[in-house]
Amino acid sequence: MPPRLKIDGRFWLTLDGRNFLGRGRVELLQRIRETGSISRAARSMKMSYKAAWDAVAAMNAAWGASLVDSGPGGSRLTEDAERLIAAYRKAEARHAASLERLLNAADLAPGRKR
């Protein structure tokens, strides 16, 4: 099978010129949803609790509202967080499709003579 050229690029949502939501933060939010805990979510990602807490605090501050509510019963995502995850996933899929179209339009294939 001939090698397949792939195009790749990072996709971030930014707020006021600062990275706000990317693949890692979305994964963190999803794991908080699954585990009900910031510490368990962090552990499952091999991330320190402090790094996870700092990421959540940064997202909450940037958004201007809580994306994760934490209390004695654990942590849960807010409706805003759920909407942001869905919007991010949709935009990320469109970004990947655009990159693929760009690669195809460039007519680049390994071993092809130009």
Global pTM reads 0.83
Q: Name the residue ranges covered by the structural domains of the chain.
A: 20-99
Model confidence pLDDT, tens digit, residues 47-106: 999 999 999 999 999 999 999 998 899 999 999 999 999 999 999 999 998 888 888 777
* Helix residue spans in the chain (DSSP H): 23-35, 38-44, 49-63, 79-106
Structure tokens at 16: 């006021």
For 36, which DSSP code? S
- Is domain 20-99 given the CATH code 1.10.10.10 in the classification? yes
- The whole-angstrom separation of Cα 25 and Cα 50 is 14
Model confidence pLDDT, tens digit, residues 31-41: 999 999 999 99
